[in-house]
Each structure stands twice: as structure tokens, then as C-alpha cells.
Structure 1
């Protein structure tokens, strides 16, 4: 049980320190900033697609993003 508590404390502490470390890495060179920005955009896009899919799977009516008909298939 002690190892689990130590792991959880370390995980939370590192999560709090992470934004500062990412800032240091991103500001070292322009290429680093582009890589960090691209990775952030990729993660946000994939989380958004997963969230949209999850809401659709729960039956929440969402706008149709495709170019097909706007009819629901039941």
C-alpha cells in the first residue's frame, strides 16, 4: 500500500511541475516550439474526436459533420 501512495504522490507532483518543464523545452529553439505546438494540436484533435464519438454513442443528437444526408438510421 505504501508503494501505491508513493506512486500517486509522485504522479501528482510531476503533473503539477509538467507545464513549467514543457515551457522550458518549447522555448529552447523555434523547432522545439513547432514540435510542441504540433503535438498539442494532435492531442487536442484526437481528444475532440473521441469526445464527439462518445457523445454520439450515448445517443446525444449532434450535428452531422459529413456531406451525406441528415437522416438518422434506426
Structure 2
């Protein structure tokens, strides 16, 4: 049990320190900044799609993102 508590404390401590370290890495060169920004966009998009899907699976009414099966093109 002590190992589990130590793991959680270390995980939270590292999560708090991560933004500062990420800023240092991103500011080293312009290419690093582009890579970090691109990775952030991919992560945010995937989390957004998963969240949208999870809310839809829970039965929460959400707006349609495109043409549904009932929309006909004439």
C-alpha cells in the first residue's frame, strides 16, 4: 500500500512540474515549438472526440456533426 501511495504522490508531483519542463523544451528551437503545438492539437482533438462519443453513449442529446442518415441530397 505504501508503494501505491508513493506512486500517486510522485505522479501528481510530476504532473505539476510538467508545464514548466514542457515550456523549456518548446522554447529551445522553432521546430520544437511546432512539434509540441502539433502534438497538443492531436491530443486535444482525440480527447474531444472521445468525450463527444462518451456523452452520446450516455444518452445526452448532442448536436449532429454532419448529415445524418435521414438527410437526403436532392
TM-score range (shorter-chain normalised) is 0.7 to 0.9
Structure 1's 70 and 27: CA in aligned 2 closer, same or farther, altered over 3 A? farther
Provide the residue aligned with 1:25 in structure 2: 25
Provide the residue aligned with 2:65 in structure 1: 65
C-alpha deviation, 1:69, in angstroms: 4.7
Measure the CA separation in 2 of the matches of 1:56 and 1:70.
18
Provide the residue aligned with 1:12 in structure 2: 12
**TM-score (norm: length of structure 2):** 0.87
- Structure 2 unpaired stretches of 5+: none
- Structure 1 unpaired stretches of 5+: none
